[in-house]
Structures are given as structure tokens and as C-alpha cells.
Structure 1
Amino acid sequence: MRRRTFLQAGGAALLAGMGARSWAADVPTTRDLAGDVAILREALKLHPGLYRYQSPAAFEAKLARFGQAFVAAGDQQARFLALAALLAEIRCGHSYPNFFNQKKEVAAELFDRPTRVPVHFVWVGDEMVVVGSRGSGLAAGTRIHRLNGERPAALRARLMPLVRADGHNDAKRISLLEVRGDDRIETFDVFQGLLSPPRGGVHRLEVEEPDAKARHVELPAIGLAARQASMTAPEVKDADPLWTWSMRPDGVAVLTMPGWGIWNSKWDWKGWLDARLDSLGGTKGLVVDLRDNEGGADCGDLILARLIDRPWTPPALEQRLRFRRTPASLDPFLDTWDDSFRTLGERATPLADGFFLRPAGENALRVEPADKRLPVGVAVLTSPVNSSATFQFARNFRAIGGGKLYGRPTGGNRRGINGGCFFFVRLPASGLEFDLPLVGYFAMGREPDAGIIPDVAVAPTIADLAAGRDRTLERAAVDLASG
């Protein structure tokens, strides 16, 4: 009775004295964990998109079930999975227990397990298809029909409710459940390792090779260090370029941008990009490959600036907040890189339903035209990975008529996403963290619950993967070269 009363009260007063015990210090008690639930409840009141896809009553019921499960959980694994499942219910691509923001002890316990399947793979429909492996003997294009006796699509269905994405854009969730070798901690590895670890440290696979030969394979599971050693992305030093530039024999330039996380880089990315865009005279076109790029800074604005001849503001998105100032009782648990976020709504205008309109001019996007326009046509390659800044770029590129989008639908959501400013919420008793976006971007007018659909839909086939053929890039380049 006491626990139920505590969980349902949910007021800021309950935070007083909470967090005196730390997960790192000793085993958290029921009261300690209930304090974490109270902190989470108060923190989520700051979330601008909490009720974008569900009613307050519906989420309150989910939160009550979470609180009971979290407090009753017997170990850190169960608490982490409960937290991931609750945050996934918000349907926000930026709200999740971030693997990279957890304490070292928590990350070691949950993520550094020898449970990983030693291959890189993607999904083609419901097929799990190998695209690379390190010593497994499985060729690219091999289909995995069963993984430890389970159909891969069934395993994927069990993991999906734990995975972040905006709205009902499940293509983003599926992309996060691929292992392409481009992330230091893979979402699939984490949840597969916690929910479906192999027996005896060995994965048992039923596969069909590209020549249609079927066989059974046993592969030793690998740990985090081995997975990271097999990453496809090259190691980048502080001042190294993060992107690549190449010129095809047909005269089409290809700019490959696998990430826009340039905040800690000492590389002069603006100078590098400007120099290459200046060099396009006499070429047949430019392909901008964003397929592996989730987002980061708005690096794409430099490209947009060369596609316009007058200042441009993107289609209206209302920036909404849920608070004027963060509660003092909650502040000790909100970590951030900019303390001004705590007073984000002080000058905001009240709206209906508990929202505040962010003041005009604060972080408003306006792209000024560059001195030099691009002298060639541009094609942008998209995929479900694009869900933050790259989703916004694809949306803006289309809005200005910059060229065509090729590939697969993006992640993100045309109804709007949440982001801009963040808190990293630290739950002291469990030691867990989750990311909390503070600005809700709401589309004006009716928009579908979906990502951006490309102008030219191109998706790789299993035969393409087996042959190492990039059909999307080829189609875009051919169209540009032919004028």
C-alpha cells in the first residue's frame, strides 16, 4: 500500500531527499527505486512530445505499470529494459536510455557482454541478410533463416517495442535493429544480448548462401571489443575529415557524409566543404549520400545556401515547450551542457494544453544565400537512418526544390520531432540515464505520421547485397549525368 501511494502521488515534494543513496554505493532499496520513478515522472512533465501520439490517461496507465515493474525488478537488466520500453512508448526518436550516456559501471554490466552475432547484417523485408563478417565464413547476401532456433523476423518483433523512433515510423526502428558496423554500440546487440543471449556462448544459425546452398553454422558469440574491432567506419582523429569526396568516371561528384556530429572535431569542415563545392564547375552533378547519417549539427545548411538566391525560411514549425523554468527539486538530476536550458521558457508565450510557444528568433532557422551557387544538379540519397538533422535537411531540400531525393523513406516524422535542447536525466538509485528533449517541433496543418518519401524509390535487393552493387547511387548518378 505504501509503495502504491508513493508511485501514484508523483508530486515534486516526493523528490525531497531522494537520491541520497546511489546505485554505485550499494544495492538500491524499494524506496530508493521508487525515488527514481518519482524523478522520472517529474522529468517527463518537461517533455514537449509526451502526448503527441497518446492521451495523458493512456500514458499515465503505462507509467503506473512501469513504476511497479521498475521497483520490483530484481536486477539492473530488468530495470533497464523496463525504462527502454516505457520511453519507446513516447514514440520520440530522441527519448531513450542512451547507451553512450550511461555510467561506465552500468555500461560495462549491460552492454559489454559476449552475446553478439559475429556478422554485419541488414533487413530486406523480413529477411536478415549478411553484408559482412569477420571470420564467420558467411558471404555477403547470405540469408539467416533461423537464429538460435528462432526466425529472425520474430526476434525483431520482440525487440521493436524497446526501440526509439518518431511516431509510427517503424522503418527507423528496423534500421536501428541492423548491424552495419558503423556504431560503437549497436542497438540490436544491446537488446538481443539482454533478451535473447545464445546458450553456451555459441550462436546456431540456419542459413542460405547466395548460391542457394543451405547449411547449419555454429559461431562463437563475440563481445563489445570484438564488435568494435570489426567496424567498417575508419578511425577518425580530431582534425581528420569526417566525410569523403570522390569523382566518378561519368563526371558526377559524390559527397558521402556518414555523420554530422562535428561538435568535438577540430577539423575545418566548413572550409573543406566550401572548397569542394567550389570545384564543381564542369562536372555533371553532385550526389550527397546521407544514408548512414542520423544527424547532428545542421551541416547541410551550407549546401542549401548554394541552392537559393534569396534568404529562405523553412515551412512553418511551431516550437513548443512544456515549462518556463525547471523545478528546483528536479535540477540536481538534470545534466546538460548549457544551463540556460533550465530557463528555456521564461519568455515564452502560454498556449493551450499546457504548452508554451518558444520566443520567435530563438534558434529559428534562416538560410542566407551563399555567394556562389552550385552550377550542377544535386541528388540526395536518403534512408530510414535519417531522423534528426538529416531528416530536416531532406525536408528542406525538397521544400526549396533543390533536386531529387533517391533511396528509401527517411526516419523522423512529418508531424514534427522533438530535440533542439536536451537534459540527460540521471536516476541516482538505479544509476540509469535517459535523454530528454526539450523543444517540440510541431508541423502547422495536417501531416502524415511518416517520414519523407523519396522522389525516386530505390531499395537494395538481396542480389545487390551479394554482388556489392549500390543500385541507389547508380540510379542517381545516371540521372544526373544524362541531364
Structure 2
Amino acid sequence: MSRSLLPFALLMALPCAAQPVTVEIDMAPLLADNLVLTEGAEIGVRGDTAPLAWDRSLPLTDEDGDGIYATTLDFPDGTGLVEYKAVVQAPDGELLWEPGDNRVLVPGRMDADRRAFSSPQTSLPVRTVSSRQLGEDLALFRNALLALHPGLFLHNTETELERASNRLAGQARALAQRYGEAIPVSEVYLMMSEAIAAIRDGHTQLNPYNQAAYTRATLFAQADRVPFAFRLVGDRMIVTGDATPSMALPTGTEVLSLDGQLISDVIETLMAYMSADGSNDGKRRNLLSVTGLPPAEAFDIVYALRYQPEGTLDLQLRLPDGTEADLTVPLVTRDARRATLLERNPTLPRSDDDLLQFRILEDDTAYLYIGSFATFQMETDYAAWLTGAFRQMNERGAERLVVDLRGTPGGMDEAAALLFSHLLQEPVEVDFWSSTTAYDRMPDALRPHVRSWTSDFYDLTDRVTPNGDGTFSLRARPPITVAPAPDAFRGRVAVLVDAAASSATFYLARQIKRTGAALLVGQETGGNLRGLNGGQIGFLTLPETGLVVDIPLFGSRPPEPGEDRGVLPDVLVEPDADAVIAGRDPELEAALAALRSH
């Protein structure tokens, strides 16, 4: 199939000549946090480009004793972006790294980075690329998709993908005409997000967590965020947290428009930039809700790039008492919003460890909340916590259990499997979908641009067999019998799910539904019964823009093609905006009613 993804290319428009860059760091915030600089401690910087290195510090000095430590770094001619961090090294060698994202220096475009210790970086030279450089990055993107992606046609026809490719080419030409040879990378990010979303695969995305420090600092850390958290229920935006200075948005307020744009129109526009599996629009809407807690959320990024709000935001509101009002609020940074939300609501999760909760409700019903299966990001020993929770509920004689997986996008398969074994009362057979890949050896031209968490994905020749159509299959996994865990729950179980449930959570919901291990309550999950792509992700770095594209390397397919949807719950609870406004939890209410009726 001919899929022309653009005759243009992208390169960073930076002068060739480098120059010295001064780094000045006010250490007062460290002292304000009651962290004393011990006598003999060394303040320094480490980074990825000489004269900096990540394994040794280049010292900073405070010549006048004002608490501001400084040095001037001389970079070689032609140096590009430099990532660095401040480090405090105690006399015994212990290191205290500056928290947050890496800082960025742009030799030749900035002469200094003057700031406080641990402050976010919000002012950097605009990164631009030429039309030629844009074409080079997009050609690399096209080649990587064709060579590596296992499911380009899982949810699309050849004609649909050709149409998306042509649209991308037209958008690139329009950017070249509008900006000449200085196309902002922010415009490329938006354009690429839409093109990637057209693949209709939940694991193919510009994942904000995998972007370089420059992209994070320039696109994700600006004062362009709405000063509230909200939940989307259909096309209705319901406030769940208020970060406005005057506390003008009580929980349950409905936002009717943003800067004169109806919420329904905004959501319809932004849906085109959301990566989800197949026709699962419930997942796309779910991605557009904002909790205000993670470092990057889809609505924040795409709304700011698409609508480019500045300074303030005009809101049309319907307050919880039904009255309508107009309000102008200041836009904020993600960090300021998060800090305000946490200050005003101490019950909000402050870390991934807070996404694990266990308690006993009234009438001896146990409640278990698991907000993430990404247990590698937790300090908590997940296995010990989970087995301990089930041991306690059994010792308490709980007769019913509600497992709340709402808002849980996925994570480690092993973590989901451990939960599954604790829901069983008898052994069950678990099946596995077949695994496929688009390549056996990664083309040499792509290798320098693709990384992952292991390096064994470059050469799969000893793990795959050819299918005869240019694709390859990994060794099939036969069904296995899963026995109940020693502390498995002995009563009735309901599991709450919603459209967030993808990847590992989707597979778990599918097995629960297939085996009858518990009652599924809530909404259709994310994911797709036609199959998923994922397993291992290749991180494709486009060298000129610096953008990083997640490309799944393996596909999972059912024995027979499934429907183009997620897993349907046993008890469907339609999203209810009025219930959210009133502070009710219809899903939990339905689960408790179903458990008590048996």
C-alpha cells in the first residue's frame, strides 16, 4: 500500500555557534523545606553534555554568601539541547537530586538559567524546525509505523489510513506556508497528535510522560491550565475540584462554555486528538477528564495547543443550585493547580501509593480501591498489601466485597493477575490471545531512533515464526488453570469498571466476565475485543522535533474476531451527570444493591 506521509522534514532552528551559559541557583527553597546544607556539602550540576556528566558534579560557588550558587558552562560549538539538574552532595557522598523534570539549556539561544532550586522551568527559547526537517521526521515516523506497528489495519481500512496520511501531508504544507522555515514544535505536536489518534490504537500516542525535558518544559509547564478539576459525563463538564483564588467553583458546578465555546463543541473537537482502541469513544471522553493531580493530562495539553488561551478564561456556569452565572478565572500552571487542590482537599491521592485503599463499609462489606496496576511506581509492596487486605476482610467475616477499578488504565499484568486469583472460589481456566508482530529484525535505519525498557526487541528471530503474509507470530501460550489464592475472598464480589479500563485492566475485566469470577458493574471498559496492541512499547524519537512517539511492538488477537467495543458489564450503570452534581455514586450504589440481593 502506498502511504505517503509527507514530503517535508524538520530540524531545530538553532544557530551553529554555541556560547557560554550561566547557571544561577537560589538555594533558599531547600532551606525553607528544613533541609539544612551540612558543612562541607557541595552544590553542583550534572547533565548529559560535556562539560557536564551524570556521574559527577561540576561545582557551583556562592562567592558573596547570598545563598545563590553559580557557575558559567562553556559548551562546544554546535551543541544542541542540554539536560541538567542541580545536585547536593553531602560529605559522606550521599546525593540529593533536584526534584522534578530535568532542566534544559539551549547554548547559543540563552545566556543564563537563573532560578530557585526545584522551581519548574517555564521560559525557554521557542524551538522551531524547517519544512525540510519536518519532512525528515515525518518520513521516519511513516517508516517506523510501516515496519514496526503490528495493528495498523486492526481498526482501519487501507482507504481510511490513506486519507489520514493525506490529511497529515496537507497540514504539514499548511504549517510551512504559515510559518515559513520556522515552524513551532508546538504546532507539530498538535498535528502529530491528530494523525496518531487516527490510527485508533490506545497504545500509539505522543505519551507526555515519555517526552524529552524540553518538550515537557515548553508544552506542559506553562500557565495555560484551567483552574479546576472536572469529570466529563457525556458532553457535560462537572467540576470536582476548585483551584480558583476565590474558591468560586463549588463541587457540582457545571461548566457550560469555555471562552465562548460550548463544552459539547470543545469535546467534539478534542476527541479527534485522543488515542483509543477502535470505536471506543467512551475511552476518548474518559481521557479528557481532568483530576488535576498527574503531571500531564490530555485535556490540558491539547486544549492549550488547540485553543491557545492566554491569561484568563471566561466561563459560563450552572451552579449546583441551578442558577447560571458568568465568571472570569485566571489560568494556572499544573503545579499551582495541584498544590491548591491538595491543600483544599487533603483526602486526594498525593502519590501512586495512595491509589491503594482498603476499608470495611457498613454491614461488613469490604471495599478495595486499586487506582493503578503500575506497581513499579509505588513504594508500597503491592503483593503484601493485597494479601494483607484479603486476610483482614476474611478475618472480619466480610460477606461482600466491592473492588473499585474505576479510573484504572492498566499497568503490570502480574498485579492484575494477583488480584484475579484473590477473587476466585474455585480453579478456572484462563486463555491467552495469540501474539503477533510486524517484524523479526528491526531495520538498521530505525535502530538508532527506537528504545524500550529492554534491548531484546531489536532481534526477534529466535522468538517468532513467519505467517507468510509479512507478519510474524510469537509462540502461542496454552490455557492455564488458575487456582484461588490462599487468602481468596469467600463471599460475593462486585468489580466496578468504567471506560478508563484498558490494557491490563481490560484483560482482567475480560477474564472476570468470561469466568464469572465476580459481578462487573459500571460502564463499558476501554480496550477492544477485536484485539489490542501493546506488550512492549518502542519509543521512537524524531530527531529534529525531539518528539517521542509510542509505537506498540506486539499485538494480541482473539481466536475469532470480536466486536468493536470493550467489555460490557453485567450491571450497566449509565453515566449520570445529575448524580455527580448531587454527590452520589450510582455505580457503588448499584454494586451494593446487587450484592445484597443475593
Contact persistence 1:22–1:431 (CA under 8 A): no
* Farther-moved stretch of structure 1 (35-44 vs 82-91): 35-44
Which of 534, 558, 571 matches 1:443?
Answer: 558
Instruction: Give the CA deviation at 1:339.
Output: 0.4
User: What corresponds to 1:141 in structure 2?
Assistant: 252
**Is 1:472 aligned to 2:587, yes or no?**
yes
**Is 1:357 aligned to 2:473, yes or no?**
yes
Instruction: Give the CA deviation at 1:276.
Output: 1.4
User: What corresponds to 1:187 in structure 2?
Assistant: 298
Structure with the higher strand share, 1 or 2? 2
**Is 1:289 aligned to 2:426, yes or no?**
no
Instruction: Give the CA deviation at 1:215.
Output: 1.1
Alpha-carbon spacing, 1:23–1:345, altered in 2? closer, same or farther (3 Å): farther
- The whole-number CA distance in structure 2 between the counterparts of 1:144 and 1:97 is 28
Alpha-carbon spacing, 1:5–1:276, altered in 2? closer, same or farther (3 Å): closer
**Is 1:40 aligned to 2:141, yes or no?**
yes
Alpha-carbon spacing, 1:155–1:264, altered in 2? closer, same or farther (3 Å): closer
User: What corresponds to 1:78 in structure 2?
Assistant: 187
- The whole-number CA distance in structure 2 between the counterparts of 1:312 and 1:272 is 26
User: What corresponds to 2:385 in structure 1?
Assistant: 272
Contact persistence 1:308–1:400 (CA under 8 A): no
Instruction: Give the CA deviation at 1:474.
Output: 2.2
| Structure 2 gap segments, 5+ residues each | 10-77, 82-105, 107-126, 177-182
- Secondary structure of the 1:439 match is strand
- The whole-number CA distance in structure 2 between the counterparts of 1:471 and 1:37 is 46
**Is 1:218 aligned to 2:328, yes or no?**
yes
- Secondary structure of the 1:255 match is strand
- The whole-number CA distance in structure 2 between the counterparts of 1:212 and 1:263 is 44
Instruction: Give the CA deviation at 1:107.
Output: 1.4
Read off the aligned partner of 2:327 and give its amino acid letter.
V
User: What corresponds to 1:56 in structure 2?
Assistant: 158
Read off the aligned partner of 1:393 and give its amino acid letter.
L
User: What corresponds to 1:175 in structure 2?
Assistant: 286
Alpha-carbon spacing, 1:474–1:61, altered in 2? closer, same or farther (3 Å): closer
Contact persistence 2:220–2:301 (CA under 8 A): yes
Deviation string 1:228-248 (CA, Å, 9 cap, x unpaired) is 3236742238xx564010100
Which of 242, 261, 280 matches 2:374?
Answer: 261
Instruction: Give the CA deviation at 1:197.
Output: 2.8
Alpha-carbon spacing, 1:42–1:23, altered in 2? closer, same or farther (3 Å): farther
Deviation string 1:277-302 (CA, Å, 9 cap, x unpaired) is 12333112111100011010121212
User: What corresponds to 1:411 in structure 2?
Assistant: 526
- The whole-number CA distance in structure 2 between the counterparts of 1:58 and 1:213 is 45
User: What corresponds to 1:13 in structure 2?
Assistant: none
User: What corresponds to 1:309 in structure 2?
Assistant: 426
Read off the aligned partner of 1:404 and give its amino acid letter.
L
- The whole-number CA distance in structure 2 between the counterparts of 1:420 and 1:372 is 29
**Sequence identity (%):** 34
Read off the aligned partner of 1:83 and give its amino acid letter.
M
* Farther-moved stretch of structure 1 (53-62 vs 418-427): 53-62
Instruction: Give the CA deviation at 1:8.
Output: 6.5
Deviation string 1:388-424 (CA, Å, 9 cap, x unpaired) is 1111111111111112111111111111111111111
Which of 336, 360, 369 matches 2:452?
Answer: 336
- Secondary structure of the 2:225 match is coil
User: What corresponds to 1:15 in structure 2?
Assistant: none
**Is 1:395 aligned to 2:513, yes or no?**
no
Using structure 2 for the length normalisation, give the TM-score: 0.73
- The whole-number CA distance in structure 2 between the counterparts of 1:352 and 1:95 is 25
**Is 1:108 aligned to 2:217, yes or no?**
yes
Alpha-carbon spacing, 1:317–1:123, altered in 2? closer, same or farther (3 Å): same
User: What corresponds to 1:66 in structure 2?
Assistant: 168
- The whole-number CA distance in structure 1 between the counterparts of 2:551 and 2:130 is 25
Alpha-carbon spacing, 1:352–1:60, altered in 2? closer, same or farther (3 Å): farther
* Farther-moved stretch of structure 1 (342-351 vs 298-307): 342-351
Contact persistence 1:94–1:436 (CA under 8 A): yes
Instruction: Give the CA deviation at 1:158.
Output: 0.9
User: What corresponds to 2:20 in structure 1?
Assistant: none
Read off the aligned partner of 1:270 and give its amino acid letter.
A
- The whole-number CA distance in structure 1 between the counterparts of 2:338 and 2:442 is 38
Instruction: Give the CA deviation at 1:461.
Output: 2.7
Read off the aligned partner of 2:289 and give its amino acid letter.
E
Read off the aligned partner of 2:381 and give its amino acid letter.
D
Using structure 1 for the length normalisation, give the TM-score: 0.89
Read off the aligned partner of 2:516 and give its amino acid letter.
G
**Is 1:325 aligned to 2:435, yes or no?**
no
- Secondary structure of the 1:86 match is helix
Contact persistence 1:140–1:465 (CA under 8 A): no
**Is 1:227 aligned to 2:329, yes or no?**
no
- The whole-number CA distance in structure 1 between the counterparts of 2:520 and 2:166 is 43
Read off the aligned partner of 1:227 and give its amino acid letter.
R
Q: Which runs of 4+ in 1 moved over 6 A?
A: none
Read off the aligned partner of 1:174 and give its amino acid letter.
R
Alpha-carbon spacing, 1:182–1:402, altered in 2? closer, same or farther (3 Å): farther
Higher Rg of the two aligned structures:
2
Deviation string 1:431-474 (CA, Å, 9 cap, x unpaired) is 10010111111122242111111111124533322332212112
Instruction: Give the CA deviation at 1:27.
Output: 4.9
- The whole-number CA distance in structure 1 between the counterparts of 2:165 and 2:502 is 26
Read off the aligned partner of 2:205 and give its amino acid letter.
Y
Read off the aligned partner of 1:309 and give its amino acid letter.
E
Cα-Cα RMSD: 2.6
Deviation string 1:82-129 (CA, Å, 9 cap, x unpaired) is 111111011001111111111111111112222222111122232222
Contact persistence 1:349–1:358 (CA under 8 A): yes
Contact persistence 1:395–1:452 (CA under 8 A): yes
- The whole-number CA distance in structure 2 between the counterparts of 1:266 and 1:211 is 42
Instruction: Give the CA deviation at 1:343.
Output: 1.9
Which of 263, 269, 272 matches 1:158?
Answer: 269
Deviation string 1:255-283 (CA, Å, 9 cap, x unpaired) is 00111111243421111111211233311
* Farther-moved stretch of structure 1 (413-422 vs 222-231): 222-231
| Structure 1 gap segments, 5+ residues each | 11-20
Contact persistence 1:318–1:442 (CA under 8 A): yes
- The whole-number CA distance in structure 1 between the counterparts of 2:312 and 2:546 is 31
Read off the aligned partner of 1:436 and give its amino acid letter.
I
Alpha-carbon spacing, 1:23–1:361, altered in 2? closer, same or farther (3 Å): farther
Alpha-carbon spacing, 1:378–1:22, altered in 2? closer, same or farther (3 Å): farther
- The whole-number CA distance in structure 2 between the counterparts of 1:127 and 1:27 is 37
- The whole-number CA distance in structure 2 between the counterparts of 1:469 and 1:162 is 31
